[in-house]
Structure 1
């Protein structure tokens, strides 16, 4: 076996020669590498792909809502308004409403569903809970570990392998009371509406939305 062919068996960057020709191992030029990357990586998702992702997000929200309600209350049951408002202790010992505790449980299952279903199909364009803060350039956001003054949406669709180039932003919400289920965004000035306005500041070409098991995708 000649050295060129032997090298091809060990090197994934080897360029295959035409049948009948001797194998060669020319290293790809930087221009060719760039061209191949642009062909391989999808920059922004097209409209059909965004719609498919939204469908999966809604399915994940419904699955998480169903599984937690069934685990906590039994088959076919769910909390009533009094149960949603009942005060409990969270993992840190803080007093919170049962609705918040249930919402945290459902978020965990929804994120697991997203990782299971979307990370295999759109691994380069979907991020879960990235955190953003204003960058050195006005109007520009960068990834950060800083909590104060930062934003952490649940799901971000973005440029391939670049979460700072945002396309769409979504937050899971799991309304518990009857009123919140029918109007998950709440009244004008509510926390949910304010969050969407802040997420719109991250950029993107579609309005930020919330995902609920009852109403699907809702926009401001």
Structure 2
């Protein structure tokens, strides 16, 4: 057995200490981060090799902040809209329902955020993902199916159709493998207006097949995995 001098032994102990501390920091981040906790172990292992898991959360949150700033700049010279401005009715939709400034801004900010998120996911998510994919969910049968872009466009073009009632359209569905009917993680951007409001899941109304249930809860039942919100103020959070 060869002799190990004190300097070499000291370096080995220090290297072991550094590795232990790095592992502890990673574990702490995973405990603190709802996104990292929600990623399946097999996918997380691939991402942790390049430290992509932490970066994914950071960059998706940055997409929300950027979209918020760009959206506010367009209409309010960079300042956030007031509660009164958010409630202002700016137009009516094709069904004759009023569209508030909050709804209009939210839609435009979603477009910006999803463009940003697509680039982030291409760089950092090591498995397939879907953006604004619409699904039909049959709770009693515990079955879900996709609605093609072509069919969705046809139904929307037909106007106030009931055929889209009860369908689900999450912003981002991150898959753990090539099964595109299952989610490892479902993410929705939320842009509260005014920004002092808390980001939260929509609660379905009485006329919905999911009456009184929360949007995130229905996503989880339909697609599996965890559903999380992304907002400018809170980043990635359960609600």
Q: TM > 0.5 between the two?
A: yes
1:78–1:202 CA distance, 2 compared to 1 (3 A): same
Q: What is the Cα deviation at residue 136 of structure 1?
A: 10
Q: What is the Cα deviation at residue 155 of structure 1?
A: 0.6
- Greater mean deviation of Cα atoms: 132-141 or 106-115: 132-141
Query: 2:60 is matched with which residue?
Result: 57
- Greater mean deviation of Cα atoms: 59-68 or 142-151: 142-151
Q: Number of residues paired by the alignment?
A: 173
Query: 2:136 is matched with which residue?
Result: 133
Query: 1:152 is matched with which residue?
Result: 169
Q: Which structure has the higher relative contact order (CA within 8 Å, separation 6+)?
A: 2
RMSD over equivalenced CA pairs, Å = 3.1
Please identify which structure carries the higher helix content.
2
Q: What stretches of structure 2 of length at least 5 have no aligned partner?
A: 1-39, 149-162, 205-211
Q: What stretches of structure 1 of length at least 5 have no aligned partner?
A: 1-41
1:84–1:210 CA distance, 2 compared to 1 (3 A): same
Q: What is the correspondence of 1:37-52 to structure 2 with a 5 Å cutoff? A: 45-46=43-44, 48=48, 49-52=52-55
Contact persistence 1:44–1:160 (CA under 8 A): no
Query: 2:31 is matched with which residue?
Result: none
Query: 1:9 is matched with which residue?
Result: none
Q: Normalization by structure 1: what TM-score? A: 0.67
Q: Normalization by structure 2: what TM-score? A: 0.62
Contact persistence 1:90–1:101 (CA under 8 A): no
CA shift digits 1:2-39 (9 cap, x unpaired): xxxxxxxxxxxxxxxxxxxxxxxxxxxxxxxxxxxxxx
- Greater mean deviation of Cα atoms: 127-136 or 196-205: 127-136
Instruction: Give 3-state SS (helix, strand or coil) of 1:208's partner.
Output: strand
Query: 1:197 is matched with which residue?
Result: 217
1:169–1:150 CA distance, 2 compared to 1 (3 A): same
Instruction: Give 3-state SS (helix, strand or coil) of 2:218's partner.
Output: helix
Confirm whether residue 72 of structure 1 aligns to residue 75 of structure 2. Answer: yes
Confirm whether residue 209 of structure 1 aligns to residue 232 of structure 2. Answer: no
- State the distance in 2 between where 1:210 and 1:99 align: 18
1:94–1:136 CA distance, 2 compared to 1 (3 A): closer
